[in-house]
Structure 1
Amino acid sequence: MRLLLVRHGETPSNVDRLLDTAVPGPGLTRLGERQAAALPEALAGEDIDALYASTLVRTRLTAAPLAAAHGLDILVRDGIREITAGDLELLPGDSEPGERYMRTVFAWAAGDVRLRMPGGESGTEFLERYDAVVAEAAASGAATVALVSHGAAIRTWTAARALNVDVPFAAAHPLANTGVIVLDGSPSDGFKALTWAGATVAPAGEGGPAGEPLGPAGRSDGLRGPRP
């Protein structure tokens, strides 16, 4: 199965840099609407057979132009919603609360799944719910599936489940609004990331460390160092 993990378009909370994870959440900004409208052209080379979105408003609005372009229904699933911020909800994402949030989710990806977000879910709970939607998509028989989801959820799940993406890479490479990670594989055999926001992901030992994105000429894209 070819799996497209698509982050939603820009929201007012993104602009204000807030940890906003509750359902139903905000809609899109005008820029976010333009980003969503541009997705069908950006993914024109993908023959999408099934389209999923989370229970948050912003993912369904982002998925709508794709659904129209491909003649698909949007399958809404709670399992691919954003990682619950718990006690950190609506606190600044670009300061200590945001750093604590990201430290927690990447600890899950590194294997400490019993750790719990303050006032929120554990890594086990998050991965189980996200895995369930991916498994449903795989069982459907669709060759190419798009999941419109959320930045932290996508990066955490990919770091935990993609065989060629490690936690340091995922932590150092945020996914912009409507950014896409393309993977290939299955729940039983595992997944490999093919591209991360348009850059090819090299296998371990080929052109760089695990999960290093390479440009079209095989040169590093220059994305270095941790980012929030």
Structure 2
Amino acid sequence: MRLLLIRHGQTPSNLGHFLDTSLPGPGLTDLGLRQAAALPGALAGEDIAALYASTLTRTQLTAAPLAAERAIEVRIRDGIRELSAGDLEMRADEEAIRQYLTTVFAWPAGDLARRLPGGEDGAEALARFDAVVAEAAEAEKHRTVALVSHGAAIRVWAAARARNVTVDFAARHGLDNTGVVVVEGSPDSGWTALSWAGTVVPAVTASGVADGGLAGRTLPGPETGPAPAPDQPTT
């Protein structure tokens, strides 16, 4: 099947770079509403069979114009909400953002037990996202499904589940508001990313490693260069 992983439109918290992950969360800015309104046109070439959104307000507002244009319901699922910031909720300082990023990108690198204080661990976060993907795959089989979710959740899930998305690639390639990551495959056979916000994702080599980096091991941080800019992960 084909999955369109769509980040929500711009929110006031995005403008302030806040780690804003709690329910119900903010609505969209005027720009965010325009971004949502542009989605149906941007996805005109996609034959979308089902549309999902998280339990946060911003994803549902983003999905609404697409649902109206396609005359399909929005299926609300908590499993694709943003990765919890825990005790860092609503902080916008560089230290908090780096701690958040380093923790969540440790998960696809194999450290699933790591967690932020007051937050979830990697096993919990990936399991809930996987459950929604599995539901969509069972219901729609080989068709196209759109999931309106959140920046960090999409990037971390793709790094953990798409065979050609390395941790380094996902950490260093942000996802702008209403940016789309396209993957194909199934929960049983695995996933391959076709595009990342319009950028072609490197192919998998014969050794199973994606061209352009070591698969699944590189983390953002002082040892590997700067973490992504603060506007990249903020929910």
Identity of aligned residues (%): 62
The alpha carbon displacement at 1:225 in A equals: 7.3
Residue number in structure 1 paired with 2:65: 65
Residue number in structure 2 paired with 1:220: none
Contact 2:5 2:146 in 1 (8 A): yes
Deviation digits for residues 144-167 of structure 1, max 9, x if unmatched? 000000000000000000000000
Residue number in structure 2 paired with 1:89: 89
Residue number in structure 1 paired with 2:140: 141
Residue number in structure 1 paired with 2:103: 104
Residue number in structure 2 paired with 1:219: none
Q: Which runs of 5+ in 2 are unaligned?
A: 215-224, 230-235
The alpha carbon displacement at 1:205 in A equals: 4.1
Residue 182 of structure 2 aligns to a residue whose secondary structure is strand
Letter in 1 for 2:212: P
Letter in 1 for 2:120: E
Structure 1 distance, partners of 2:190, 2:125, is: 18
Deviation digits for residues 48-72 of structure 1, max 9, x if unmatched? 0000000000000000011011111
Structure 1 distance, partners of 2:117, 2:7, is: 24
Q: TM-score, normalised by structure 1?
A: 0.91
Matches within 5 A, 1:156-195: 156-195=156-195
Residue 109 of structure 1 aligns to a residue whose secondary structure is coil
Residue number in structure 1 paired with 2:232: none
The alpha carbon displacement at 1:141 in A equals: 2.2
The alpha carbon displacement at 1:137 in A equals: 0.2
Contact 2:40 2:66 in 1 (8 A): yes
- 1:17 equivalenced with 2:17 (yes/no): yes
Residue number in structure 1 paired with 2:212: 209
Letter in 2 for 1:163: R
Residue 49 of structure 1 aligns to a residue whose secondary structure is strand
Q: Which runs of 5+ in 1 are unaligned?
A: 212-223
Residue number in structure 2 paired with 1:128: 127
The alpha carbon displacement at 1:89 in A equals: 0.1
Letter in 2 for 1:128: A
Structure 2 distance, partners of 1:181, 1:98, is: 22
How many correspondences in the alignment?
215
Structure 2 distance, partners of 1:45, 1:141, is: 18
Structure 1 distance, partners of 2:116, 2:65, is: 33
Q: TM-score, normalised by structure 2?
A: 0.88
Structure 2 distance, partners of 1:91, 1:210, is: 31
Residue number in structure 2 paired with 1:216: none
